[in-house]
Amino acid sequence: MHRIINRLSPPDQAPQYSYCMSSTAIRVRLLAFGALKTIVPAGSDWRDLTPGASVDDLLALLCREGLTDAAALRSAATAVNQQYSPRSYILQDGDEVAILPPVSGGLDAAQPSAPMIALVREPIDASAIERSIKSGADGAVCVFDGIVRDNTRGRRTLHLDYEAYEQMALHQMHLLRTEAIEHFAVRDVAIVHRLGRLSVGETSVFIAVASAHRGAAFDACRWVIDTLKKTVPIWKKEQFADGAAWADGEPFPEDLAGPAR
């Protein structure tokens, strides 16, 4: 059983933003995504907190303000400065806090000399990625090509809209690549995910794993897509013939989610 990457690692230094604040408070930047975007309809907002406040204190404040409730937050994860963080984490002035619902499961993928880790808004060229990752030392390349299907649980799908917490998603995708190479002894891994509106039949995510041996390539490819769908902050909204809904994501690992205060 391989560990889930980057769990609860200490956040990096906060991004720098300009604002005016009281000397008796700290101010944090709040983001929310997917089905939880209603917490921050404008996309981002600032909150003043008392020094020493934790992520959990911030979530409790949002509940008191009526913007969300404990039930909605129960399966959510939190990130501080683009890294998953426990709700007990003590916030600092200028921190960026993101509230992440379970996910749906940079570098330019057009550069074959670079690790092919990318978020793109144009159609994914799966054949080009597969050709680029191959090497004379490889005995196998295993690929996963995730495509948009025309229905979900009997409802006819018209299209999907994908969004991401992009900087954090790219960081997690790079960590996935590193983890897969280290633990499965494969030579290289490419992960490319599409954002924006996708039609039925289009590729949403493409993963390619190159290895000297097929068993390692199969195992690594399966692990990458399964872990990506649990830890990389990307969400999809499904547009059906009879309405629209954010897709229910796979639950976060237990140490990334927990009940609000």
pLDDT tens, N- to C-terminus, the chain (261 residues): 444 444 444 455 445 444 444 458 999 999 998 888 889 888 889 999 999 999 999 999 999 999 988 888 888 899 999 999 999 999 999 999 999 888 765 333 334 334 489 999 999 999 999 999 999 999 999 999 999 999 988 889 999 999 999 989 999 999 999 999 999 999 999 999 999 999 999 999 999 999 999 999 999 999 999 999 999 999 998 988 888 888 765 665 665 555 544
How far apart, in Å, are the Cα atoms of 126 and each of 13, 20, 31, 132, 139? 36, 48, 32, 10, 19
Rounded CA Rg of the chain: 19
pLDDT of residue 256: 58
pLDDT of residue 18: 44
Contact residues for 170 (Cβ-Cβ < 8 A; gap 6+):
106, 107, 117, 118, 119
pLDDT of residue 17: 46
Closest by CA to 234, choosing from 156, 129, 130, 164, is 164
pLDDT of residue 250: 60
Q: Does the global pTM surpass 0.85? A: no
pLDDT of residue 252: 59
pLDDT of residue 4: 42
C-alpha span between 237 and 108 (Å, rounded): 26
